[in-house]
Chains A and B, each alone.
Chain A
Amino acid sequence: MPRPSGPSNARRPPPARTGPSKGPSKGNGRAVPTKRVGARTKRNPKVRYVAVRFLLVAAGVKLVQVQGFEAEALANRAEQQRATAMEIPAERGSIVDRNGVKLAFSMDVVSLAWRPKAMRAQWDAQARKSPNAPDYNERTEQIAGYMKKVLGNQVDRDEILNELRDDVTFTYLVHNVEPTKARKITTRFAEMETEKRALREYPGGELASNVVGAANWRMEDKDVRKHNLHGLSGLESARDNDLAGIPGRKLADTAEGSDSVVIPGTERNIQPATPGSDLALTLDSDMQYTLQRQLTDYAKQARARSASAVVMDAKTSEVYALANDKTFDPNDLETANPDNMNNTAVTTPYEPGSVNKVITASAAIEHGVAEPREVIQVPGSLQVSDHVVHDAWAHGTLGMTLTGVFAKSSNIGTLLTAQKVGEQRFADMLRKFGLGVRTGIGLPGESPGSVPPRSQWSGSTFGNLPIGQGLSMTLLQMAGMYQTIANDGVRVPPRLVDAEIKPGGVREEMPRPPGVRVVKPQTAKTVRNMLRAVTQDQPGQNSGTAPAAALQGYQVSGKTGTAQQVNPATGAYSSDKYWITFAGMLPADDPRFVVAIMLDQPETTLPQGHTAAPLFHDIASYIAQRYQIPLSKKPSPVVPLVVGE
């Protein structure tokens, strides 16, 4: 019977209508004439006959009316009265790394709650009635004791007791209880209120939390049934729609007056919930862990205000690791603050300094204005517009090869080369390398950096940009420049989410952004080879700026950078606050990985604060081991950098 109570309820009215005869009949119609009223009806059988007939006909008519004409409406009303629509929460998808290691997943948990005022009234009333019954204080003591026994360290007995005895109508006692334990407690104390929730687990803690972000239980919606996990930061927030899934709906019969007391066995689905998709990232959690640790240690040693680093695949731009020195544990959001939740690697641009000279180098080679071995006479200072540029070390006029200009990071040599390239061609090159435009990696709050538009260049602008001052970029953009050089001149925007795994297990690859040709393959190769000399360690003036970045057995190519920061007080470049940067690739003869590092305001008097080259070395060394990169066939050739004074 699909609608048991509708008709049976509806049948009740006819007897009610015949109310007057109900009293005397007392249930058995046949007995009527023989008993009390019998005397009258016996006297007049005809009346009896007509009365009975009339009643039968009336009942029949009502029956037809109720069952035939009103059946549907009544059944609907009954259904409405007892059935309650409920939302079935959709399970939130997991986030996994490139090897399937889970970085975030959800668990069912229960929150236990209590109604102190109502329970106190009820139990104290019971205690007054029967002197043997325990009063409220005794009972709450029992509850707190039992909860401590079941939940162990998760709760504090005295705190629970305080909550239980609080003078409020409703209070949560404890969140995130395992369902099994919650059942144990509610079996013993049926008065305990429970609320099903989900808890987001981050097994790695701080591991990749800047990328993965955090999700927590949200209760903004007035409808309790719509409460669910939602992302706060990182991919949890940016991809919330994919991860959250679609809640389903079900109907259940509930007790009168309370929608939460479900009559067992009456639940029926209308629409099942669709769980959220899993996200497979390009991160490698081991690489990520190591990078985070190395970067944090190094930033501490260099006493940097902040630091970021990224490891990217040279060909596909898949991000293997993206780290900031400060990060938070998403399992414990109380320790999180806007400072450590800020993913500075994508949100905060900086001036790159000499790392940006790679653009000047690429433009010079691409347009054929210079060759690596060509000797440039570099004076000790250079007047550009209204200011005088010096090199990092004092020197008279030096004969430097083009390779030497970049390997030794000569500002003057670079500017002379840039002047040969010309402003327009240089500006085009900046644009092609993707500066001033967001990479579209899909993390929230990405900054596009800033490059002054060509129309707003002043006389000194072209004395700044080629040496990496006067423009800003994010760490990802900086890595992207070196990825272009590593990938034979094709810039591929970075990727972080590799695939979405749909609820059925279908893996949907995320579209790969198309590559952009920036320079000719030969140009990229030449620049790559030139920048190997940065790590060259030779006597005399033939050492590059970063011999410490060299990795034995491998050819390494990269570039150091030191950029002055603007002092907010004076509005001019500060003389003691710097961004120290490094970007490079490994191995230079067949690039597999690109590494970019930025240290913000390290103490430049410290050896670690002076350059990020040793950190690059450590990261490269780990990469070579982890991905079993074959040794380079031969070491980087020694090239002349300074050929005469």
Chain B
Amino acid sequence: MRSGNASRASFVMLIIGLLAVGVAATLYFSTQAIADSYRLENATQRANSLAERAEILERDVMRKESASALAEQARKLGMVPGGNPARLVVGPDGKVKVVGKPRRAAGAPQPESPPPSGQPPAERQPPAQPRPQEHRQPADDRANQQQPGEQRQPADERRQAQSPADQQPVPRAEGGP
């Protein structure tokens, strides 16, 4: 009877223990689940706001890369449309023929910023000489032609322009940023 009571008591203890562990575990897991749901909520919110941010940035990029915006930017830099280019035709014998007359690009001047102190034009070769004008910025041409030294664009360009080497009538292969 005693041992029966003892075994029953230990059995009850076991059950109580299991129950306690079970309750504790349930509590723990449900707490975790709730905590996770908060984390999920936060993460979702963050993902949403990042997606919104991406959308806005994408819009800004698209606005800036639209033809109208690019043209406006180019105009501000003093660039003008290239006009009629001359073309080099390489014959079967390797001889190069110039079709068309290379001309400096002309356009409505758009110097909106005040002209910096007068500086010599970067180059002065005669326009008749065929030159790789496709690679050069029209702005360069126009600036030379109409307002020498006025509103020249990028700083490194200017540095080049001031170097003595550049004063020679040597066509520069490329320019601009």
Q: Tell me whether A180 and B49 are in contact (CB under 8 A).
A: yes
The minimal Cβ–Cβ distance linking B74 to chain A, given in whole angstroms, is 11
Task: Decide yes or no whether B59 CB sits under 8 A from chain A.
Answer: yes
The minimal Cβ–Cβ distance linking A595 to chain B, given in whole angstroms, is 16
With A108-B55, A207-B66 known to touch, is A293 a contact of B83 (CB < 8 Å)? no
CB-CB contacts below 8 Å: B53-101 with A: 53, 55-56, 59, 62-63, 65-69, 71, 81-85, 87, 89, 99-101
Partner of B59 from A107, A207, A552 at Cβ < 8 Å: A107
Instruction: A272 to B118: give the CA distance in the assembly, Å.
Output: 66
Partner of B52 from A101, A108, A625, A631 at Cβ < 8 Å: A108
CB within 8 Å: A-B pair count: 65
Instruction: A631 to B83: give the CA distance in the assembly, Å.
Output: 17
Q: Tell me whether A285 and B67 are in contact (CB under 8 A).
A: yes
Instruction: A288 to B83: give the CA distance in the assembly, Å.
Output: 17
The minimal Cβ–Cβ distance linking A428 to chain B, given in whole angstroms, is 41
Instruction: A105 to B56: give the CA distance in the assembly, Å.
Output: 12
Contacts of B84 in A (CB 8 A): 551-552, 621
Question: Which one of A197-205, A233-241, A340-348 is at the B interface?
Answer: A197-205
Q: Tell me whether B99 and A289 are in contact (CB under 8 A).
A: no
Task: Decide yes or no whether A193 CB sits under 8 A from chain B.
Answer: no
Q: Which residue of B lies closest to A622 (CB)?
A: B81
Contacts of A102 in B (CB 8 A): 62
Contacts of B49 in A (CB 8 A): 179-180, 183
Instruction: A290 to B83: give the CA distance in the assembly, Å.
Output: 12
Contacts of B83 in A (CB 8 A): 621
Contacts of B62 in A (CB 8 A): 102, 105, 201, 203
Contacts of A293 in B (CB 8 A): 71
Q: Tell me whether A289 and B68 are in contact (CB under 8 A).
A: yes
Partner of B66 from A178, A203, A622 at Cβ < 8 Å: A203
Instruction: A102 to B87: give the CA distance in the assembly, Å.
Output: 33
Contacts of A201 in B (CB 8 A): 59, 62-63
Task: Decide yes or no whether A553 CB sits under 8 A from chain B.
Answer: yes
Instruction: A202 to B42: give the CA distance in the assembly, Å.
Output: 33
Contacts of B69 in A (CB 8 A): 203-204
Task: Decide yes or no whether A141 CB sits under 8 A from chain B.
Answer: no
Contacts of A285 in B (CB 8 A): 66-67
Partner of A204 from B55, B67, B100 at Cβ < 8 Å: B67
The minimal Cβ–Cβ distance linking B109 to chain A, given in whole angstroms, is 15
CB-CB contacts below 8 Å: A189-236 with B: 201, 203-207
Contacts of B63 in A (CB 8 A): 201, 203
Q: Tell me whether B87 and A180 are in contact (CB under 8 A).
A: no
Contacts of B101 in A (CB 8 A): 552
Contacts of B56 in A (CB 8 A): 107, 178, 180
Instruction: A286 to B69: give the CA distance in the assembly, Å.
Output: 11
Contacts of A105 in B (CB 8 A): 59, 62
Contacts of A108 in B (CB 8 A): 52, 55
A: interface residue count bin = 20 to 34
Contacts of A290 in B (CB 8 A): 67, 81
Instruction: A285 to B68: give the CA distance in the assembly, Å.
Output: 9
- Interface of chain B, main secondary structure: helix
Partner of A206 from B68, B87, B89, B99 at Cβ < 8 Å: B68
CB-CB contacts below 8 Å: A545-564 with B: 551-553
Q: Which residue of A lies closest to B49 (CB)?
A: A180
Instruction: A373 to B82: give the CA distance in the assembly, Å.
Output: 39
- Interface of chain A, main secondary structure: mixed
Q: Which of A107, A179, A203, A553 has the most CB of B within 10 A?
A: A203
Q: Which residue of A lies closest to B85 (CB)?
A: A625
Partner of A553 from B53, B66, B68, B87 at Cβ < 8 Å: B87
With A178-B52, A203-B59, A631-B87 known to touch, is A552 a contact of B71 (CB < 8 Å)? no
Q: Tell me whether B68 and A625 are in contact (CB under 8 A).
A: no
CB-CB contacts below 8 Å: A260-288 with B: 285-286, 288
Instruction: A96 to B100: give the CA distance in the assembly, Å.
Output: 36
Instruction: A434 to B44: give the CA distance in the assembly, Å.
Output: 58
Instruction: A506 to B164: give the CA distance in the assembly, Å.
Output: 59
Instruction: A102 to B69: give the CA distance in the assembly, Å.
Output: 13
Contacts of B68 in A (CB 8 A): 204-207, 289
Q: Tell me whether B52 and A179 are in contact (CB under 8 A).
A: yes
Instruction: A178 to B89: give the CA distance in the assembly, Å.
Output: 54
Contacts of A207 in B (CB 8 A): 66-68
Instruction: A107 to B52: give the CA distance in the assembly, Å.
Output: 9
With A102-B62, A203-B62 known to touch, is A286 a contact of B67 (CB < 8 Å)? yes
Q: Which residue of B lies closest to A183 (CB)?
A: B49
Q: Tell me whether A289 and B55 are in contact (CB under 8 A).
A: no
Instruction: A289 to B66: give the CA distance in the assembly, Å.
Output: 9
Partner of B67 from A178, A289, A553, A631 at Cβ < 8 Å: A289
Instruction: A286 to B81: give the CA distance in the assembly, Å.
Output: 13
Contacts of A622 in B (CB 8 A): 81
Partner of A289 from B52, B53, B71 at Cβ < 8 Å: B71
The minimal Cβ–Cβ distance linking A88 to chain B, given in whole angstroms, is 16
Q: Which of A288, A289, A551 has the most CB of B within 10 A?
A: A289
Instruction: A289 to B81: give the CA distance in the assembly, Å.
Output: 12
The minimal Cβ–Cβ distance linking B140 to chain A, given in whole angstroms, is 18
Q: Tell me whether A631 and B55 are in contact (CB under 8 A).
A: no
Contacts of A552 in B (CB 8 A): 84, 99-101
The minimal Cβ–Cβ distance linking A106 to chain B, given in whole angstroms, is 10
The minimal Cβ–Cβ distance linking A397 to chain B, given in whole angstroms, is 40
Contacts of B89 in A (CB 8 A): 631
Instruction: A256 to B52: give the CA distance in the assembly, Å.
Output: 31
Q: Tell me whether B52 and A553 are in contact (CB under 8 A).
A: no
Instruction: A108 to B81: give the CA distance in the assembly, Å.
Output: 37
Contacts of B71 in A (CB 8 A): 289, 293
Q: Tell me whether A107 and B99 are in contact (CB under 8 A).
A: no
The minimal Cβ–Cβ distance linking B90 to chain A, given in whole angstroms, is 11
Contacts of A551 in B (CB 8 A): 84
Instruction: A288 to B67: give the CA distance in the assembly, Å.
Output: 9
Contacts of B53 in A (CB 8 A): 180
Contacts of A180 in B (CB 8 A): 49, 52-53, 56
CB-CB contacts below 8 Å: B17-70 with A: 49, 52-53, 55-56, 59, 62-63, 65-69
Instruction: A170 to B89: give the CA distance in the assembly, Å.
Output: 71
Contacts of B82 in A (CB 8 A): 625
Instruction: A201 to B69: give the CA distance in the assembly, Å.
Output: 14
Instruction: A101 to B66: give the CA distance in the assembly, Å.
Output: 8
Instruction: A321 to B67: give the CA distance in the assembly, Å.
Output: 13
> CB-CB contacts of A622-643 with B at 8 A, as 1s and 0s?
1001000001000000000000
Cross-chain pairs A/B with CB under 8 angstroms, 21 sampled = A101-B66, A107-B56, A108-B52, A108-B55, A179-B52, A180-B49, A183-B49, A207-B66, A207-B67, A289-B71, A290-B67, A290-B81, A293-B71, A552-B84, A552-B100, A553-B87, A553-B99, A625-B82, A625-B85, A631-B87, A631-B89
Binding site for A on B (CB under 8 A): 49, 52-53, 55-56, 59, 62-63, 65-69, 71, 81-85, 87, 89, 99-101
**A-B CB proximity, top 8 nearest:** A289-B67, A204-B66, A203-B62, A203-B66, A553-B99, A552-B100, A203-B63, A285-B67
Task: Known A-B contacts: A179-B52, A553-B100. Give 9 more (CB < 8 A).
Answer: A101-B66, A105-B59, A203-B59, A206-B68, A207-B66, A207-B68, A290-B81, A552-B101, A622-B81
